[in-house]
Amino acid sequence: MPYLDHAATTPIHPDALAALTAHLATDATGNPSSLHASGRRARRVVEESRESLAASLGARPSEIVLTGGGTESDNLALKGLYWSLRAQAGPDGPAPRLLVNPTEHHAVLDTAVWLAEHEGARLDWLPVDRLGRVSPEELDAALAAAPDVPTLVSVMWANNEVGTVNPVRELVAAAHRHGALVHSDAVQALGQLPVSFAESGLDAMTVTAHKIGGPVGTGALLLTRELAPVPLLHGGGQERDVRSGTLDTAGAAAFAAAAAAAVRELPEHAARLTALRDELIAAVAKEVPEAVLTGDPGPGPEGRLPGNAHFAFPGCEGDSLLLLLDAQGIECSTGSACTAGIAQPSHVLLAMGYEPEEARGTLRFSLGRTSTSEDVAAVAAAIGPAVERARTAGLSR
């Protein structure tokens, strides 16, 4: 069965599986915060995993805060840093400002909106171009418009839907000229692009394990040592007094193993995915000439994620296409949200300037370690008839 939804989650990597099962064994039991021998053994595993993760991510071990995944990390970054900025401004200071890219994952978007609605944050949206990219010049202008307001910027490294890569270093440089903090959700970038926290200049960065062959429920927020976000969770203060909760020893070990493998295999992996992706794009264009490839069409990794091919199919509903392909054993995603069975336009494409009709008829094919040319051939054979049936279904409504 062709699995083309690696952007949602990936099959576990053999190295991560070996680490996970080894540390789930009964003889490895121990709370990393306990002082007895089992606890010390577990703590050693956690700290060795932290060091390995730091090496893979271009960071210092002290900058890694282990979390329960990408959503928690995004929430901790935005809420915690917003509350920290507000405390620094004092009761008489201006409410901190959030500058957010409207094509972000909902873990960032919904958090930013919540802070505006419930915590008095000033929320402004950074425009994106037709490719879904944030311009450093636009960011510079937005920050210059409110020079005396403490600001947190959040721009994802690479878009989870259309695959467009943002110029992170240039955006960070523009923000830092104005004294703003910058967070980036790098969940999709890790494993497909070179990711270095130190070289990026970011103040905070979100990553998660299950997008790179690690287990679900394990992630990290990278934070420079100067930052002390207000915690979301209170309790034992296990992670720099920023994130409380018993540490997942096995999860940390598996995450570290998956990240090490991702970095080690990156050159070959990215080249293979790029070739498969281009093969898939050509196949869809041949079978459905009117299909629109969204995002950056450039072949280089600086423009688009190697494993992403996202299309808009005029005259179709994305959910209909998804189900028709699923019936043929091809698993992908629409990239759109469905509420109570009603297809909604992709918020990403709407922000990029597409019409609602175009933004409803989308499919995202995302490739990964287990993807093959046979998977591409299966899509090529199925996509034309599926589009015809989806259009017929749409006309009959």
CATH number (domain holding residue 144): 3.40.640.10
Would you say residue 131 lies in a domain? yes
Percent of the chain as helix, strand, coil, to the nearest 5:
45, 15, 40
Residues 90 and 122 occupy one common structural domain: yes
Q: Are 352 and 129 in contact (CB under 8 A)?
A: yes
pLDDT along the chain (397 residues), means of 10: 95 97 79 91 95 98 98 98 96 94 96 98 97 97 94 98 97 98 98 98 98 98 97 93 94 98 97 97 97 88 91 93 96 65 81 93 96 97 95 66
DSSP category for residue 309: E
Query: What is the CATH classification number for the domain harbouring 360?
Result: 3.90.1150.10
Same domain, 83 and 145: yes
Q: Which pLDDT score, from 0 to 100, does residue 393 have?
A: 72
Q: Which is it for the CA torsion 277, 320, 10, 382, positive or negative?
A: negative
300 with 347, same domain? Answer: yes
In this prediction, residue 142 carries a pLDDT of: 97
Give residue for tokens 């050693």. 44
Residues 280, 299 share a domain: yes
Q: 229 and 286 share a domain?
A: no
Establish if 8 belongs to a structural domain: no
- Which residues form the domain of 387? 266-395
Instruction: Judge whether 2 lies within some domain.
Output: no
Q: Of 145, 271, 337, 338, which is the active-site residue? A: 338
Instruction: In the chain, count H helices and then E strands.
Output: 13, 12
Q: Are residues 92 and 239 in the same domain?
A: yes
Note whether residue 193 is domain-resident.
yes
Q: Which of 392, 54, 5, 17 is nearest to 216 (CA)?
A: 17
Q: Is 226 in the same domain as 99?
A: yes
Residues 40 and 161 in one domain: yes
Contact residues for 22 (Cβ-Cβ < 8 A; gap 6+): 28, 250, 253
User: What is d(CA 55, CA 57) in angstroms, rounded to the nearest whole number?
Assistant: 6
Q: Tell me: do 233 and 284 sit in the same domain.
A: no
Which residue from 345, 246, 247 is spatially nearest to 46, judged by alpha carbons?
247
304 in the same domain as 372: yes
Do residue 63 and residue 204 come from a single domain?
yes
DSSP 222: E
Total number of domains constituting the chain: 2
Last residue of a domain, one of 213, 233, 260: 260
Contacts of 247 (CB under 8 A, 6+ apart): 32, 33, 42, 46, 66, 238, 239
Q: Based on the residue annotation, tell me whether 338 is a catalytic residue of this protein.
A: yes
